[in-house]
Amino acid sequence: MRVKAIFVAAVGVIAIAVAGVARADWSLLDFQQAVDALHAVDPTIPAPRNDPRTDFAVGGFQGQDGNNVGFSAQSGPQGQNPKGRLSETIPQTHKGRFTVTCLAVAGSDAAVGLHPTDAASNDETDEFVLVVHNGAVPGGAADQYGFSNQPADTCPAALELANLGFPLRHGNLNVHDG
């Protein structure tokens, strides 16, 4: 009986250790897939640092309207010093280029406040907020996105919209709450 109990306890400890390793590896894999999706849309946007002490959101995807979006946003754990960029293209009709001015993260949801750049290739003149939800399913199958026409600096108020978004047609995103 004692040997059986020790064996069962040892198997339980091994299962917990393997699950912990698999979860850590998935997190790094999910981050890299999101960075690869970003660079597939716009290779000129630098990825955020994969630093567990910071908040970040990163990804690339094709949306429901055929729009291609690539974004990278990073801030301190309280949203301080946000930085990053977003590129959106609707083939043959529209190009939007933005700088990140606000980032709010809660768990697997993020709201990214965006202000249009003054780049010559920019068709956008209005600021807005991108909201994203990381569904944590390999390949981005459960990820969602949405846009809110509100001032960029009010991005924390848009967090509640992250779970009400649209599924990605293609792509992946990653959200980290530092």
pLDDT category, 176, cuts 50, 70, 90? very high
User: Considering the entire predicted model, what is its pTM?
Assistant: 0.83
Residue 3 lies in a domain: no
The span from the CA of 72 to the CA of 28, in Å, is: 16
Apex 113 CA angle, 100 and 53, nearest 5? 65
Tokens coding 135: 């569904």
pLDDT category, 139, cuts 50, 70, 90? confident
51: domain range?
29-176
> For residue 3, is pLDDT > 50?
no
- Identify residue 10 by its one-letter amino acid code: A
The span from the CA of 95 to the CA of 21, in Å, is: 41
Q: Model confidence over 5-33: pLDDT tens digits?
A: 443 333 343 333 333 333 334 477 889 99
Residue 23 lies in a domain: no
Q: Model confidence over 33-68: pLDDT tens digits?
A: 999 999 999 999 999 999 999 999 999 999 998 999
Do the beta carbons of residue 109 and residue 162 sit within 8 Å? yes
Number of domains in the chain: 1
Whole-Å CA distances, 48 to 93, 124, 125, 142: 29, 24, 25, 22
User: To 10 degrees, the CA torsion angle through 31, 37, 42, 46?
Assistant: 10
Q: Model confidence over 71-110: pLDDT tens digits?
A: 999 999 999 999 999 999 988 888 889 999 999 999 999 9
> For residue 156, is pLDDT > 90?
yes
